[in-house]
Amino acid sequence: MALDLATIPLRIVAHPRLYVTPENRDGLCQRRLRAPYQQIYQSTVAYAARWAEAELPDEPVGFSEPCTFKLYESFDETILAEIARVCAHEAPAALVTNAFLYALTKEAAYAEVAKRWLLHVARWDVEGGSGIYFGNDLPCSVLLRSMALTYDWIHDALSDEERRTARASLTARARQIRSFISPFGTIYNGKYCNHASTNTAAMMLTGLALYDEIPDAPKWVDHGIRLFREEFLPVGGSDGSWQEGVHYWHPTALWGVFAVADPLLVCLGVNLYNHPWLEKGGEYVITASAQDVRLRMGFGDGATTDRLDVASFMAIEKWATIYNRPEGFWLYNDVRETMRGGLCPYDYLWTTEERAVHEPRWRPQRRFENAEVYLKSDWTNEAVMLAFRSAGYVGYEGYSHNHADHNSFTLNAYGERLLIDGGVYDGWGGKHYTQDYITSFVHNTILVSGTPQRPMHPDAVGSIETFEPGDSLAHVCGEAAAAYMGRLDLFRRHLWFVDRRYVVILDQLVAPEAERFGWQFHGLAPMNQQGNLVRIEAEKAAAELHFIAPATLTAHYRDGLRTNPKHLPREGYVEHHGIMETEPLAEAVFLVVIAPYRKGETPPQVDVHAQATGWDVAFGDTRTLRIDTPNGTDAKANARCPIRGQLADGGQSPTPCSREQ
């Protein structure tokens, strides 16, 4: 339903009105006297003092021409790095910390520092390095958001002339964003990219700050509301999933919705929180994550990480607060005290004093609408965690945060990442990003005669055909032939999760002509091969990969990445990559059994017996998975046939997955 903001009066006419208001200021100020806000407040005071005597930065230099998408890989990265340093870090930190402290305490010294920085950046050329265009839009929208908050919070400390100076810059920058996101739905600003929602939120905050001072301001707010309700939020799955992957859920939720939703509700009574994607979003993040952030799973840019950043922490904390979800507080409960401070003003505003904390009550086996599946033995860091993805393409050709990782999987067990999504996220674009990180070369999927899936193309897609959860046996089946753009007619991958521990994978592959099929596996621990068994041994856990079929395979191993990233996650970071490759075949079936175990324990006994109708995969004397095929173990005959897996002692029998389904 369209809004007519001309009929909605501004509920708070006075300044400040963004987060801090005349009604809540005293209560917010009193928070600083008690835990946990006292620690956050003291951290903010110390950080604000850094900027009191700091030298004002020079206006950043812009690109010689706007950085269009096609130029993104070749432009001077030092220019963008300088823009980011000034516009996304130094100026926003100086502005927001001092202005927020003034809004709470009314101590003039804070207003003077904030004013000095505000008037300095307000004189910069909005068509220069601090302006909004593709390539630097995020740093510069951060600057605009910070300027809008500062203008609102120190409004009574500015003279009429100073307000005019600040308003002129804010107006020009907000109009620039309004132009940047119009026409909507292009590669630069579409709903499939987190940039557009972040930029829109900055424009809306500026509109609220200038709502009764600039005639265009209500139009910016109205346009932003329409975009969130009609474009951004509907892209998210009704189950909370996000098409750009788990890492990009928090920028969209935090810097898009959460950054503007509270002021919008307080100032105009418009509620953005009432949407199923937001209401369920934390469930997606929690299911793809672990309390130890190093065990986070997921796919796409930045999905796996070695550290928890404060923005990701605050996004899930805010979600838990809004929707009264104790599971959100549970996720990072063990590290909460280390996350205090560092995200002014949101850490001070959104931290809660009392909270219920408990682990998720839903089954740790979920399929999400963005075509990701998570199968976990339990919710602990010691759990066996299996993730799988085979998805359609959501984005624009050549631009996405998704990877060519269809029919790929990852495996964590007993506190270790054993089979990983490889590569290093060293920023969007660049040699390592385009030649390794987003490609199939570093994902646990198939190569076809050394050729990976086509990345970032709307026709190079996969799908999940079957998902059936179960305590003793779970099953997922994906199809990804289209991702190879004509090199394959069929690539169906079955995964069975047996006894919430073991993984059995059966691949059916058909090509128009003979190809060498390469079964890839990637890890952070060294790999050792003995016959058809490959052992991956990490510090606390290990896994044995039993290659049952085809009988003839050639192994290839590589330590390290094919291309060098700009930086490594940590000192001594090394990836290990393996491929088991067939001889040239037009049709093939892979059968691989993965058995994880704790380091120091005896590896699980795995016995595979060929039967007239397939294979029996026995794990010791406790469990046997029977894989039924119409043509026994004949690879060529079975490549196109329905496959069925069931426990030999009864139990769950997943529905056959056939070409017609």
DSSP string, 562-608: SS--SS-SSTT---EEEEEEPPSEEEEEEEEEEEEEETTSPPPPEEE
Cα-flanking dihedrals φ and ψ of residue 543, to 5°?
-145, 145
| Predicted local confidence at residue 20, as pLDDT | 97
Q: Averaged over 538-556, what is the pLDDT? A: 96
Alpha-carbon distance values, 277 to 217, 228, 233, 245, 314 (Å):
28, 12, 7, 14, 18
For 92-103, how does the pLDDT look when each residue is reduced to its tens digit (9 = 90+)?
999 999 999 999
Of the candidate ranges 254-268, 385-399, 586-600, the one whose mean pLDDT is the lowest: 385-399
**How many angstroms separate the CA atoms of 255 and 639, rounded?**
47
- The yes-or-no verdict on residue 47 having pLDDT over 70 is yes
- The yes-or-no verdict on residue 60 having pLDDT over 80 is yes
Tokens of 56: 């004002």
User: Where, residue-wise, is CATH 2.70.98.70 in the chain?
Assistant: 365-602
CATH of region 5-350: 1.50.10.100
| Predicted local confidence at residue 134, as pLDDT | 63
Q: Averaged over 273-283, what is the pLDDT? A: 94
3-state helix, strand, coil in the chain (%, to 5): 35, 20, 45
DSSP 461: -
| Predicted local confidence at residue 650, as pLDDT | 61
DSSP string, 211-233: TTT-TTHHHHHHHHHHHIIIIIH
Answer yes or no: are the C-beta atoms of 649 and 624 closer than 8 Å. Answer: yes
Amino acid making up residue 523 = G
Measured in Å, how far apart are the chain's first and last C-alpha atoms? 38
| Predicted local confidence at residue 189, as pLDDT | 58
User: Where, residue-wise, is CATH 1.50.10.100 in the chain?
Assistant: 5-350
Alpha-carbon distance values, 621 to 544, 604, 612, 624 (Å):
18, 11, 21, 8
**How many angstroms separate the CA atoms of 557 and 551, rounded?**
19
Helices (H), 355-436: 431-432
Helices (H), 289-420: 310-323, 326-331, 346-350
Q: Domain 365-602 has what CATH class? A: mainly beta
- Give the confidence band of 2 by pLDDT, cuts at 50, 70, 90: low
Alpha-carbon distance values, 559 to 422, 545, 580 (Å):
12, 18, 15
Q: Averaged over 379-386, what is the pLDDT? A: 97
- The yes-or-no verdict on residue 1 having pLDDT over 60 is no
Q: pLDDT averaged over the chain?
A: 90
Alpha-carbon distance values, 576 to 502, 523, 528, 628 (Å):
22, 5, 11, 34
| Predicted local confidence at residue 613, as pLDDT | 85
